[in-house]
Structure 1
Amino acid sequence: MGVQFDHPWLLLLLIPLAAFAVFAWRGPARIPMFRHRLAASLRTIALLLLVLLLAGVQLYTVQRQHEVVYAVDRSSSASAGDADRDWIDASLAAKAADDAYAMLSFGRDASAERTMSADAPLGGLEAAVDADYTNVQRALQLASGMLGAGDPRIVLISDGDENIGSMLESGRLLKNRGIAVDVLDKRTETERDAAIDSLSLPGKLYLGEAFTVEARLRSTFSGTGEIRLYEDNVEIGAQTVRVERGDNAVLLQGLAKKPGLHRYRAELGLPGDEQSANNAAFAFTRVAGSPSVLVVEGKPGTSSNIEKALNAGLIDTTVIPASLLPSEIADYAQYDSILFNNVSGDALGQSKMDAIETAVRSYGIGFMMSGGDQSFGLGGYFDTPIERALPVSMELEGKREVPELGLILVIDRSGSMSGSKIELAKEAAMRTVELMRAKDTVGVVAFDDSPWWVVEPRKLTDKEEVLQLIQSIPSGGGTNIFPAMASAAETIKGIDAQRKHIILLTDGQSAGGGSYEELLAGLGKEQVTVSSVAVGSDADRGLLQRVADLGKGRFYDVQDETTLPAIFSREAVLLARTYVVDKPFTPRVADAGDWAPLFAQGLPTINGYVATSAKPSAQTVLVSPEPDPLLVRWQYGSGRSVAWTSDLTGEWSGPWIGWDGFANVLTQTVKWTFPQFAASPYRIETAMAEGGTQLSVTAEPQGDAVLPDELVASIGGDADAAIDPVTLVQTAPGRYTGMLPLGEPGAYLLNLSPAGAGSGGADSENAAGSTGAETAGSGETAALPASTGTGLVIPYSPEYRISSAEAQGSARLAELAQLTGGRVLSWDDPAAVYAQPAAPHKQMRDWTSLLLAAVLALWIADIAIRRLAVPWERIAAMLAAPFAAAGRRGTGAASGEAAPAEDGALARLSAAKRRSTAARGGEKRADESRAAPAQRPAEAPRAAGGEPGSAAEGGFASAVDRVRAERGTGRAQPAERSAGEASRGDPPSGRAKPPDEPAPPDDGGSAMDRLLAAKKRSGR
C-alpha cells in the first residue's frame, strides 16, 4: 500500500504545526497539567489530519488486472450470426481469474449486454438495437463509461462502415484517457444486391410538359428486372431493364398532367436480389399551371354550379363524394384549395378532419365551406378540427331564443362496446351536453342486460357534474334494448320541455323483445321524436331503422365510430331547429376590404342560411339582418379559409346563383384562399443523426428582407396524418438547424415559415387583416415569406447502400487502433486479447470522509477535556490499567528478583518527597494561623486531608498516609527535620513534622501501584 498527495507542497504546513505542538505541550496551563497536555495532543492530531486533507492524501494499492469491454456491431451491414459470440467466448478462455470483462451491442444506438464482472456468464447478444444505422461513436462512449480502474481496453468488433457520428473523434478522447481500442474487422462476404442509388427529375415543371426521370442503379451481379415509377402513389409507368454489375442509369418518361406539388417513387425488382431495403428511391417536383380545387359534395350531382363558375375563371375542379376524401396530408398537396358543398361531418370521420385542418394550418392549402341542411352546425361540426379551421363558430351565443329542450341518451354499454367504441360514445354524449343550455333537461341511461340511469333527467345547472357522470360509464354485460327504451320513454313523458328527443345507440342484437310499435306510438302522441345509431357490422340495422322511422327521427349507419361525436352534436342542433333562417333578405356589406368592388353594383336576395357566429378575429364581409355572418374569411396558420353560410345549389340562394356576378364572386372568393407561394429563399439539406434526421436550412433573403430568429418546419407524409412542427434554431447567420423525428425513407411535404408568422393553429387567428393582404411596404423592413411549401426526401439508410470502396471501413478501424495505441486483432487468434500483461495501475482509496469524521471527533474531545469537570486522570488510569498490568507481568518475568529492590528505592524517594511536602505545608499553615486564627478549626480537615491536586498542603503525603493506613501500618508520627530543612533556615516552630516510618512490608503490589493509587485519591 502506498501514499500519495495531490498537493504535496502543502505539507510545508507541518513545520508551523510542529512549533505549535511544542508550545501547546510546554506552555502555561490554566487547567491541571494532565488535562492540558491531553487536550494539546488531541488538537495537534486534528490539525495534522487537516493538513493531510489539504495536501490531498490518498492511499493506494498497485494492481495488475485487465478490464475489457467487447463492443459488437449488430447493424445490418455487419450481421454475422453467432460468430461474434463464439470468438468472444474463445478469447475469455485465456483471461486470468482476476480479469474482468463487459459486453455491449450497437447499431444506431448502443445497449449493454453484460456489466463489468470477472466471473459472470457470457450469455447471448440479445439487446434491442436499431440495425438500420451504424454509430460506432455511441458504442465507444458507452464502452468507456463501463470501464473501471483496471487496465482499460475496448475490443471493437465491426466492419467500420459508420454512417452516424465519428469513431476517430471518440478515439482522440479515449487516447487522452489512456484507453486503448483493439479492432476486429467484421467484414462479411458480398451478397447479391441491387439498389437504386438516386432518383432525379426537374424541380419545376409546367402543365402538360413531358419530363425525364433518371434512376441511378448499382448492383453486385448482373440480371434482368423491372423498374416501376409512381406519382403520388399511383403507378404511371413500368420498364424492363438490364442491370449490369456496377453502376447503371435508367431513364423513365413522364408527363405533368396536374398542377401542384407531386411526389415520385421508383421501385426496382430484380430476381436474385437478397436485399430489398434499398430497392426504392424518392423525389418530388412542383408543376405550375392552372390552379386546382377539390370540390367535396354531400349530395351527388349538386356541384354543377360550382364547377361552371370556377372553370369560367380558369380554375380546374375535381368533384368527389366525402367518402373518397384522402386521409393523408400529402394527397392534398396537388390542390390549391378544398371546397365543401353541403357536406355532413358524420360522413368524414376524425382522421379526415385532422388531415384537412393540418393541410390548411401547416401547408397553406385553402378551404371554403358552403351552407346547406348538412353543413355547419347542422352537419355536426361543433368542436371539431374543421370548426377550428373555419372563421365561424357553430354556437349561436344567445342571439335568438331557443326553445327548451328535453333529451335522453340511451347508450349501449355491453361488453362489445368496450375499448374505443364506449369512449367515443361517451365523448359524443359529452359534446351534446356541452351544446345544450342551463334551462335544457338531459338524461342518460346506459344498458346491458338491464337499464342503468347514469344521469337522472335534470336541468343543466351543473354541466361539470353531468359530464363527470357520463365519463364514468363502464362496459360489460349483454344487450337488451327494449327495457332501456321503455324506461327512457316513461321518463321523458314527465319532462317539461317544448321539444323532446331520444337518441338510441347500440352495436349489437337485442337479447329480448317487446312491442316497439306501441312504445313509439305512445311517444308520438307526446311529441317525442327518436333517432337511432347503429355502430359496426353486428348491429340490428333493421330494428334500428324501424325505430327511427316510427319515432320520426333519423337513422345513422356508422362504420367509422370516430363520427359518433359529430352525429350526436348534429342531433342536438336539429332538435333546437333554430339554426336554419329561411326568410328572404338582401345581404348587407359589412367589412368587404379588397372585395368591395365585387359588391359595388348591389346584391341579390338570399332566401335562407345556416346561423353561425363569427370568430373575434375573423373578417365579416356580408351579414344578414339578424345580424348573422353570411360571408366570412380569415387567415388560419399558413392557410386561409372562407365560410359561406347559404348554399351554392340554388335551394336557398336561387337569386344569388342566377346573378350575373355570381361566377366572378365565387372565383375571387376561392382564389383568395389559394396558397401564397413565392420563390423559396431557403436551401435545404438533411443528414442522419442519432436522434433522427437533422435538417439544415440556409436562408437567402432578397433585398432588405430580415432573417427571423427561428423557423418552424411542418412535415407531412404517407405514414402519418400529421407530424408535430419542429422549431429550427439559428446556429449561424442565415443557417437554421433542427432534428426531425423521421426515420422511414420517403418523400415528405415540408413547409417552412418564420416562428410566429402563421405556423400554428388557433394562435394565428389574429392574422386576418381588414383587406386580407400583407402589410409589407408600409415603412417597415420586409421579412421572409410567411410560408414556403416544398418537399423533403429522406433516402433509405446508408447502411444498405452498396459501397464501391470496401476497404474504407477497414482503413478507419486500423486508424482508430493506431490512434489509441490498440491492436488489429485476428479471427484466428482470440486469445491475443489477454496476451499482453496488464499494465500496473493504482487502486485509489478515498479516505476524505473518514479523516473528516476523525477531525470532528477530535475537536469535540478537545472541547470536552477543556470544559467539562470530570475526573480525566481516573478515566485515563482505568483505560491504561490493562496495558500497565500486562507490562508488569512481562517485566517481572524478565527481571526476576529485581522488583523488590526497585520497590524499596521508590519507597525511599516517596518518603523524601513526603518530608519535603510536609515541611512546606507546615510553614504555610503557620502563616495562615497567624493571619486568621479563627479559621484554623475549619481548615484543619483540609490540612489533614489536603486540597485535591495541591502539593503545598501535603496532598500527596496525605494520600500516602491513607495508603499506609489501609495497609495497617498505623498513623505516621512526626519526623525529625531533614538536613535540607535546616540548611534552608526554615523555622522549626509551627511545622508539622514528617513521621518516621519504616518501609511497609511487601503485600504483593509494587511501589508504582501504590503511588498511582495515592495520586488518584489525591485527585479527588
Structure 2
Amino acid sequence: MIALLLLAFLGPSLPLQPVRTVVLLDQSPSAREGVAQVASTLPQLPNVRYLAFAERAREVASASARREDLGEGTDINTALLEAQRLEPDRIVLLSDGLSQGEVLPVPTPVYAFWTAPSPRISLSLLPPTYPVHGETVEVRVLLESTADTTARLVIEGPAGRQERQVQVKAGRQSFGYRFALERPATVRARVESELGQDGAQVQVSPADKVRVWVLGDEALARYLEAQGFSVERRHRVELPIQADVVALGVSTRDLSEAEIDALQDFLNQGGSLLWTATPRGLFFGGWERSSLSEAIPLEPLEHDGGVGLVLVLDVSGSMLQDDKLGLAVTGALELIRSAREQDYVGVVAFSSNYRWVFRPRRMTPQGRKAAESLLLAARAGGGTLIGGAYAEAVRALEPLPVEDKRILVMTDGQVADPIQPVLSAAAQGQQRKIFTSSVALGADADQGFLRELAQQGGGSFWYVPSPSDLPRFFLEEAQRQFKREALEGSFALATRPWASGLLYAQEGAVLAVGESGRGRVAALATDLSRSWKDWKGASGFLGSLLRWLSQTPARPRVQAVRGEDGVRVLLEGQFERPALRYAGKAQDFLPVGPLRYEARLPYGARGEAAVLEAGVPRLNLTLPALPEWRLEDGRANLRALAEASGGRLLGDLAELTALPQRKALELRPLLVALALALFVLERYLEWRRMGAVGSS
C-alpha cells in the first residue's frame, strides 16, 4: 500500500490514445485563397477533423475541401464554438484574423497560423447621423485598399449619378455624396479596379415628421408646411398636447390659466415652446407677466426705475383657519417671482405686534431666493393691530431709490387699533407719492376700513371672497404692480443669462434659444407676416430652428456610426456623466454641443456595447459590423486569441509535428484508489481475525 502511494506521488502516465485535433479553415472571401495555399502543407495529424467556416461553420472531409456557401463575412467565434462541440484536445486555426464578430478565448489551446488576406479594394457607405426631414445630409463613401490602384467609382442617389476615376492609395480614403433629404432615399455605390470590385447601398430615412401646433401665427404655419412639418392650426391648448413643439403667436389673454399651466407641464415633460411676435404675441401679448415668463429666453428692457412694494400681511390667529396664511404665502411668492431686478419688495407682518419678515430689497436672484426662504417661515397667532406695521412700511419705502412706491395691505378680520392714524398716514403717504391699496379676505374682513384706506392712499380696494382665490389674485396683482398692462411701440430686448442669442438687430436680440425643464424654448421677436416675407431663406431657417427644438433632453437618442478612423458613438439627451461600457471597460463621453456627447472606439471595435447613466436604465446598442476586407492587423488578433487560450501563434505549420501526438493516461488516480482499496481490505481481514480469536 505504501509503495502504491509513493508511486502515485511520482505521477506516472501511459501514452495510450492519439490527441484529438480540430482544424479550422477560414474560407471567408478575404482568407479563402491564402488558406487554400497553406492547407496543402498541413502535416498529417492523427485523430483530426476539419471545419470550414466563414459566417457559419461546417465539417469537411479534408484540409483541401472548399466551401463557398458559408457566407460573405467572418465569424471566428462561431467557428470556435462549433469546434468545442467536437471535444478536441487542441484547435488549429488557419485564418487572416479579420473577424466581424466578437472573438472570445476558449478553454481548449488554440494554435493559430496567419495567412495574408487576398489583395482587395472594398467599399462601404457611412450614413448621416440623426437625419431629419428637409436638411441637407451627406453619405460618406469609404474605400479601403490593400495596394495602390486606379479605380472607377460610381455613386447614385437623390442628387443624381456621379462617376469619377480615382487614384486610390493603400489605406483608407472617403468621398462625400450630399443631397436634400425630402423623403426616404437609397444611395448606391460601386467601385471597380484591378484589385476587384465591390458595392454597397444604404437607406437614409428622415426621422418622423416633427408635429407642431401653431396658435395665432398663420405665416409661421405656412413656412413650416413648406419644410415638410406636420402642422396643426389650433385656437386653444387642448389636453393631452400631442405635439413636439407648440408655437405661440397668441396673447396670454387668449388662454386660460389652466392652458398656461398645461404648457408649463408640457415643457417640464420634454416638449418645446416657440413664442413669435405677432401683433398679439410674445411681449405684445403679455407673456412677460405670465407664469411662463421665466421660460422665455428673451426679456424686454424697460427703462423705468423700478417699483418699491411693501406687503403689510395679516398673520393673526384667524389666518390659521382654512389655511389662509399658507395660501397668502403662496400668493406672496408670486409677487416675489414676478418682480424684476430693479424692483424692491418687502413684507411686514402684523398681529398683536408687528415684525419684518424681510425689509425691502432688490429682487436680484440672490435677493429673491432669500426672500422666498424667509416668507416660507412665516407663522400666525395673536390679534389684529395694523398701525405699527403700516407706519413701518411707510418709513421703509421713503429712502428707496425708486419713484414708484406702493403699499399693499391684506387682512381677514376687524382691525383692533384706532384706524384714524392709519388713514391719516395713508393720505400723507399719497402726497409723498406712496400709494396704498388694500385687500379684504373673506366676509369677516373690515371692508369699510380697507376701502377707506385705499381711497385715502390713492390705490385700489380688492375683495377676495375665498382663501383659495389668493394665489390667483396675487399673480394678477404682481402683473399690475410690476409691469405695464401692455408693452407698446419699439422697445429693446435682451437675451436672458441662461439663453443663447442667435439673431440681433439695432434694437437688440431678435431670436434667442435655451432649455427649460426637460424641453427647449425659443423666442422670435419679429412678425413673420411682414419682416421676413422677402427673404428666400426664411423657410429653411425656421425649419432648422424647429428641428433643433424638437430634439429635447427628454428624448435621449444613441447611435453608433463607423467612420474612417473608428466608431463614433453619439448620444443626445440630458445626462450628468454618461459613459460607454465596451469590452469590459468604461469610457466617458465628451460633450460636443448642447445636450450632445460623443465617445470614440477603435476601428476594430465590435459586438455589444451599453450607454450607462446613473438613475436611468442603460441604453443598449449594437456596434456596426466591420467590412470583410479592412486594414487591420489580423496577425496580432490571432496571437492574442491563441495566447489567451493557452496556445500560441505558429510561425510555420511544421511546428505542429513537435506538439504531443498522443494523450497520456494519468495513473495517479488509479494508484491512489488501489492503495485505498488495499487499506480497506487489510482493515477487514484484521477485524475477521480478531473475531475468530474471540470466539475460540
Give the TM-score of the pair, scaled to structure 2: 0.39
Which one has a larger percent helix, Structure 1 or Structure 2?
1
Give the TM-score of the pair, scaled to structure 1: 0.28
**Which has the bigger relative contact order, CA under 8 A and spacing at least 6?**
2
**Which structure's CA Rg is the greater one?**
1
